[in-house]
A and B are shown apart, each in its own frame.
Chain A
Amino acid sequence: MAAARLGQPIYLDYAATTPVDPRVAEVMIQHLTPEGIFGNPGSHSHPFGWAAKKAVDAAREQVAALIHVQPSEIIWTSGATESNNLAIKGAATRLKGRHLITCKTEHKAVLDPCRQLQRQGWEVTYLDPEPNGLISLDRLDAALRDDTVLVSIMQVNNETGVVQDLKAIGQLTRGHGVLFHVDAAQSAGKLPIDLQTLGVDLMSFSAHKFYGPKGIGALYIRHRPRVRLEAQIHGGGQERGLRAGTLATHQIVGLGMACQLAQEHLIEESARIQVLRQRLWQGLESLEAIILNGDPQHRVPGILNISFAHIDGEALIMELADDLAVSSGSACTSASHEPSHVLRALGRSDELAHSAIRFSIGRFTQAQDIEHAIQATRNAVTRLRELSPLWEWYQQGIEPEQMIWSEH
């Protein structure tokens, strides 16, 4: 991708969003214009509607096939954020218990619905992960109560790339008769997911994280045993009353095609991306005083989150801006001054959290992009360290506390 686009930085922010795969765009365009399939899938009485419904049904099968479930267990939403809201609020308000469990490293799209429920009287336990980012099953077990209705744990963390053991968690929740919701926004299309073998009851998907368009996602809702949810959006009764709103055929076929392509390419693509990521780490690890955030083993191929001690992450990104597009913290929190809540939950100091940047690799990243990224990052880190008093003290073995500070 970089080779074709001179004058632009290399895109290494695939975890924030992905470009739509041209094959996805092609099928989407066929469902928009007067010559295409533009009908309302809900129109029962004419070929325009029937054709659109057929396209939607086919897409439903494509999504279902990716995760080995029945098409009837897939409903369409505007994205993973909406799916998370529907799963969490929908389950909590439908069922009897008043307690939920999630993890401090979840995306805000899970944490905020939980907080909202707290304001309305539910109790929520926010588990601490281990320092490597993984959930301890013992802690989860200890947190489960008689009145717990739902556990929500993401499969892959968007900042660190850490992968949770869904199988083990699912066994635990099944044993307690508690629903298990998984935000799969960062895992779908990147890791194989087989819901026949996992005790997952609800799963959220986001098209724009795996080469589909922004603005569409899905929620898997298990039928056996049946999971019941309270709808959050009411109206025309679409999606069996679970989510009202005219189905956006072009968006849906886009998500469907993204799933199909993921199915076709997953193994070879994740192997290729893994090699690139390993190369990137290898190229940087000889820099002094850098830390990998998140377990080195249990991680998705494409994400690398590194703290570069003694320099500021924002400054690093500004320095890299002409060469690389990367991010510090998640896209949703980067405007604020707060260090990443995920890195803090892993036990990183504020300083190390502020020094972190996330590289994420994707379908269109090439080997020379990685080489370029290594060079650019090494140069940037070196230059900023030359400007940094913290780096100077580190080299001299002085602790910052030993210096005399003015009040601030």
Chain B
Amino acid sequence: MLEHFKNPRNVGTLDPNDPHVGTGLAGNPARSGVIRLQIWVNDQQLIEQVRFKAYGCGYTIACGSLLSEWLDNRTLEQALTLSHTRIAERLALPPEKLHCSVLAEDALQAALAEVQTKRAGKKTTI
């Protein structure tokens, strides 16, 4: 966990207006922390790039980083199966920090949803 906190992978920003980019935002700055996840998906449904940013405790940052690492070079199908429990286990999250992994999963779901929306939009304009 400390490794992902000290050296988080894939920190950064993708252009949210890019048609290949799905942006997912989850959380609440007043309460739990915020994770923004962005994935760049090619026409073969492969996630070529991932970027994330996180506001929150060290565990929140670590969850974002781990998630981004897993998503890199995975297919959308594989991404859909990623659950917060796997993140929690891998980082050995204590019980009071489990919600950080849920936040990561929420951000992922939102990003995937946007990818679907953009594809659907793309199809209808053709």
Contacts and interface: CB of A to CB of B under 8 A. Distances in A.
B55 A312 contact: yes
A389 B110 contact: no
Interface stretch (B42-50, B56-64, B73-81, B118-126): B56-64
Nearest to B8: A387
A319 B35 CA distance: 18
Given A337-B96, A400-B29, A405-B25, A315 B57 contact: yes
B20 interface: no
A376 to B, nearest CB: 14
Interface in A290-324: 310-312, 314-315, 318-319
A162 to B, nearest CB: 24
A123 to B, nearest CB: 31
A400 B36 CA distance: 12
Contacts of B33: 312
Interface residues of B, number: 32
Interface string A390-404: 111000000010011
Contacts of B102: 408
Contacts of A312: 33, 55-57, 60
B67 interface: no
A408 B106 contact: yes
A408 B28 contact: yes
Contacts of A315: 5, 56-58, 60-61
A392 B32 contact: no
Nearest to A391: B55
A386 interface: yes
Contacts of B36: 389
Interface string A365-402: 00000000000000000000011111110000000100
22 contacts: A310-B55, A312-B33, A312-B60, A315-B56, A318-B57, A337-B96, A350-B31, A387-B55, A389-B25, A389-B35, A389-B36, A392-B53, A400-B29, A403-B25, A405-B25, A405-B27, A405-B28, A406-B24, A406-B26, A408-B26, A408-B27, A408-B106
Given A314-B58, A408-B102, 17 more contacts: A312-B55, A315-B58, A315-B60, A315-B61, A319-B5, A350-B30, A387-B8, A387-B61, A388-B54, A389-B25, A389-B34, A389-B36, A390-B34, A390-B55, A404-B25, A407-B106, A408-B28
Interface of A: 310-312, 314-315, 318-319, 337, 349-351, 386-392, 400, 403-408
Give the top 10 A-B pairs by smallest Cβ distance, nearest first: A406-B110, A350-B30, A314-B57, A389-B53, A318-B58, A389-B36, A388-B55, A406-B26, A390-B55, A351-B29
